[in-house]
């Protein structure tokens, strides 16, 4: 399972996460369809044999229905988080205790109208918004917050650099 990704601990699902920035330096978040009022940045599993850079662009297309973005940074780290026990038993057939995520920062190059949450049959989000960096972590479910804090800290110079002067 971790072939090609030696930094992933056993029992964790290989995954990518994407921090998508608009021209105002705001971050894209979607509200999960399957969870009451839980917001997150797009993320998803890495297919066997797939490179993380390829996976992040595929996941963006699948989850938010657009390919209009460019990768501007890739984390050097794999970040791990654990699912709450009740979720770990239900999702992914109970095979994983959590996810190992490789995060990317991307600059959105399209218009808001290019985002289509229903572009693929497997809809993940029922709503979306651009949020200011200082609001991002507060919207996220508690078990993912530490990872989000680390991602925000790592990419903060890029995020602030994207904001208008």
DSSP class of 28: E
Give the mean pLDDT of 113-134: 93
Domain count, the chain: 1
Q: Any idea what the CATH number is for the domain that residue 55 is in? A: 3.90.79.10
Tell me, yes or no, whether 7 lies in a domain: no
106 pLDDT higher than 80:
yes
Give the mean pLDDT of 79-89: 81
67 pLDDT higher than 90:
yes
Whole-structure pTM value: 0.88
**Can you give the pLDDT at residue 156?**
87
**Can you give the pLDDT at residue 97?**
82
């Amino acid at each position: 399972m971790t072939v090609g990704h030696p930094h992933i601990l056993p029992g964790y699902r290989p995954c990518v996460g994407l921090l998508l920035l608009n021209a105002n330096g705001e971050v894209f978040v979607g509200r999960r369809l399957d969870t009451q009022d839980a917001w997150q940045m797009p993320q998803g599993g890495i297919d066997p044999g797939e490179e993380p850079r390829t996976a992040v662009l595929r996941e963006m297309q699948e989850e938010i229905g657009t390919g209009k973005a460019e990768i501007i940074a890739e984390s050097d780290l794999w970040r791990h988080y654990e699912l709450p026990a009740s979720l770990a038993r239900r999702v992914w057939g109970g095979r994983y205790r959590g996810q190992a995520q490789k995060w990317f920062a991307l600059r959105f190059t399209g218009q808001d109208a290019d985002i289509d949450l229903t572009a693929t049959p497997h809809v993940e989000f029922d709503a979306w918004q651009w949020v200011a960096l200082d609001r991002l972590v507060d919207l996220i479910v508690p078990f993912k917050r530490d990872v989000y804090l680390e991602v925000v800290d790592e990419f903060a110079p890029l995020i602030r650099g994207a904001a208008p002067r």
